[in-house]
Chains A and B, each alone.
With several copies, the nearest count.
Chain A
Amino acid sequence: MRNDPAVKLIDSKGLRVDGRRLDELRPIKMEVGILDKANGSAYIEHGKNKILAAVYGPREAHPKHIALADRAVVRCRYHMAPFSVDERKSPAPSRRELELSKVIRESLEPAIMSEYFPRATIDIFIEVLQADAGTRCAGITAASLALADAGIPMRELVAACAAGKIEGKVILDLSDIEDKKGEADLPVALLPKSNVISLIQMDGSLSDEEFRQALDLSTDACRKIYEMQREALKLKYHIVRDGTEDKEEMAEVKA
């Protein structure tokens, strides 16, 4: 986070570098069930982010000693392809990827009914094919769809989006340049129906008041993304096996 006066991130009309308003999301595209071998999968394009998520499980815990007697172990790997960023990234997991794997897991676990599957594992894999700021949020949104696609019972879907600050203004959904040149980034994951936060991180500089604004902006955006997730799930089930679109509904009713 650095405030670089040479770069103008908001123009005279109050529009951002990519033409968005301050509270506007980037274009988002979601697709469910696109992999053959995974039990569930989803693909998301959020701005220029391109991310695949897949779920395997519930399956037998391996090695056995990691199993828990009263619930499934949820495992999560967030990983970036070497070609996903400007400078080639080593495929070995970085400290950043290890941290994100943890907070993403913790953002999804509250929504998963892991108590239904003692001694099993539910494995979530997120592969960032192209990164453009906000990969953890887009990854959570996609992983949530992949979990639903795998038929894992969930209390509800999880949707995620960041807010932040550039040139003194609170804005929604930072792009790469806004993340690098801006003043704050606040990724948030929401369980929209319960209106509870399962991931929140921040870096940069925000006053108490700015923080409250940014939090409201991001939770509102999560609710919009949640609607898109529902559409994506419906679309998949319309196409793939007509008549079964109420599967996700069921999962929610159970919750």
Chain B
Amino acid sequence: MSATQQFSPVAKLEQKTVVDLILKGKRVDERGPLDYRPLTIMLGTVEKANGSAYVYLGKTKVLAGIKVETGTPFPDTPDEGILTVNSEFVPLASPTFEAGPPNENSIELARVVDRGIRESKAIDLKKLCIDPGKKVFMVFVDVYVLDHDGNLIDAAAMAALGALVSAKMRAFEVHNGELKYKDEKIPLPMLNYPVPTTSVKIDGTIVLDPCLEEEQVMSCRLTVTTDKDDKVCAMQKGGLGVFTPDEVKQIVSTSISKSRDLREKILSKVK
């Protein structure tokens, strides 16, 4: 069952400081309302993975790793590879994270990241079929949250994208349904590059890329994932507050333009 969350108590004074700044068009870390925190991406840090990306978004740190393995296709898509996105909120990352199976926040994050990749048709899954109905490649995207300073969804989705675009799998041939590996390595068949941006509403004001202190006072958040053609491919509202329709429309327009910069930044990392 999903239950109203118990937030760790934040001193009222501290909350007030964050809100007061927002109302003045400022933020705790001196950004403007629509500024992103500094973004750093390191690709390929985990050599044993097919692909990996370490994302620093301010003090938030997320590591994504890709594994490509073979498996059985789903009955309703016999000629397509399988994409699986999983997320671990490892207890390293926050005093509020607990060891154990993924909770609803971790599952929501994984499903939003998954939706962006799946709905933008980022991976050409048909190219990952080996023997229709019998054997396909499975692409596992594992997102590891290592330091939680807010806006985990964006950091996770960008780490996942970075890991996917830089991933290598062994080249292969298929003869009569028989898989044969070749010596060289090839990239994954990528067709699109979905990037989310998350906005939050604090005392009536919308700001982008919330840090943890801002998430603790936010009314609600809206994540909008857009693709290389400026199409919206996934959205997710969270939190106990509400948006007006106009606020939602405004956030979508802002997200489309903001995502362009972020996408460029990630793709520029891949040779």
Direct contact of A and B (CB under 8 A): yes
The reply to whether B104 and A101 form a contact with Cβ atoms under 8 Å apart is yes
Chain A residues, CB < 8 A from B119? 1, 203-205
Q: Which residue of B lies closest to A176 (CB)?
A: B48
Q: Mark A193-215, 1 if CB is under 8 A from B, else 0.
A: 01111111111111110011001
The reply to whether B234 and A203 form a contact with Cβ atoms under 8 Å apart is yes
Q: Which residue of B lies closest to A121 (CB)?
A: B3
Known A200-B222, A202-B235, A204-B119; contact A125-B91, beta-carbon cutoff 8 A: yes
CA distance A88 to B65 in the complex (A): 10
Residue from B4, B69, B245 within 8 A of A109 (CB atoms): B4
Q: Mark B40-74, 1 if CB is under 8 A from A, else 0.
A: 00000111110010000001010101110100000
B63 to chain A, nearest CB (A): 7
Residue from B3, B52, B239, B248 within 8 A of A66 (CB atoms): B3
Main secondary structure of the interface of B (DSSP, over half): mixed
Q: Which residue of B lies closest to A62 (CB)?
A: B98
Give how many B residues have a beta carbon under 8 Å from the other chain's beta carbons: 68
Is A127's beta carbon under 8 Å from chain B?
yes
The reply to whether A211 and B104 form a contact with Cβ atoms under 8 Å apart is no
Known A83-B52, A125-B91, A211-B232; contact A91-B148, beta-carbon cutoff 8 A: no
Interface stretch of the complex, out of A8-16, A69-77, A228-236, A237-245: A69-77
B189 to chain A, nearest CB (A): 17
Interface stretch of the complex, out of A52-60, A133-141, A166-174: A52-60
The reply to whether B245 and A197 form a contact with Cβ atoms under 8 Å apart is yes
Contact-residue bracket for chain A: 35 or more
Show the binding face of B for A, using Cβ within 8 Å: 1-4, 6, 45-49, 52, 59, 61, 63, 65-67, 69, 86, 88, 90-95, 99, 101, 104, 107-108, 110-111, 115, 118-120, 140, 142, 144, 146-149, 220, 222, 227, 230-245, 248-249, 252-253, 256
Given contacts A81-B63, A84-B46, 6 further A-B contacts (CB under 8 A): A82-B65, A99-B111, A102-B108, A110-B241, A196-B244, A211-B249
Show the binding face of A for B, using Cβ within 8 Å: 1, 35-38, 41, 48, 50, 52, 54, 56, 59, 66, 68, 71-77, 79, 81-88, 91-92, 95-96, 98-99, 101-106, 109-110, 114, 121, 123, 125, 127, 129-132, 186, 191, 194-208, 211-212, 215-216, 219
